[in-house]
Amino acid sequence: MRSINPEIKVYAHVQDEEHALDLKRAEVDGVLISDAYSGELMADYVISPGTPQAIDRLIDDGRAPNVRRVPIPETLVGRPSLDLFVHLKQVDNQVLIGYVSELVGVGLEDEIAGGNREIVELIMRKVAEAGVKTKTKSRVRVNVNPPSDYVVQEGDHAIVISG
């Protein structure tokens, strides 16, 4: 798929963790491993009753509450996380659990743009001939349970529990 469109996002679902390593080496954007947490959840039924049931409720789309990514009002960008926490609870009855932001990949051409056109073209051609990647992959940054004084950044989205 990437040979058709290098910008496409590729995600995979596997049953076994050992296949996940191969997919990560193949540079997929994300891998979901079936039963990755089943051992911990099974232990929690005994050690911490209620925790597995709460997790099940959080991720089950069929019942509220659930975990969602929501945009942050522009008026709260640049303000402390605690302000957003209070706003979300008071206005939408949501609980802030963290932030996610997508970091855009940067390419060599982006970095050398604006220079002499012939030199830029020569560099890009030589790099391509050498088979060197010219652009980094975009990636997702997640910040769970940020400190109250974390300053909300432009490009952040809130991860909330909604009900």
Beta strand 95-103 pairing with 157-162: antiparallel
pTM over 0.75: no
Q: Alpha carbon 147 to chain centroid distance?
A: 19
Alpha-carbon span 77 to 55, nearest angstrom: 29
Residues 75, 70: Cα–Cα separation, whole Å: 15
Which residues 6+ apart lie within 8 Å of 8 measured at CB?
1, 2
pLDDT tens for the chain, 163 residues long, are 767 777 778 888 888 777 777 777 777 777 777 777 777 878 888 888 888 888 877 777 566 568 889 999 999 999 999 999 999 999 999 999 999 998 765 566 665 666 677 777 777 777 777 776 666 566 788 999 999 899 999 999 999 998 7
Q: Are 146 and 99 in contact (CB under 8 A)?
A: yes
Condensed to tens digits (0 to 9), the pLDDT of residues 71-113 reads 999 999 999 999 999 999 999 999 999 999 987 655 666 656 6
End-to-end C-alpha distance for the chain, whole angstroms: 37
Q: List the beta bridge partners of residue 134.
A: none
* Domains parsed from the chain with CATH numbers: 63-162 (3.30.70.1450)
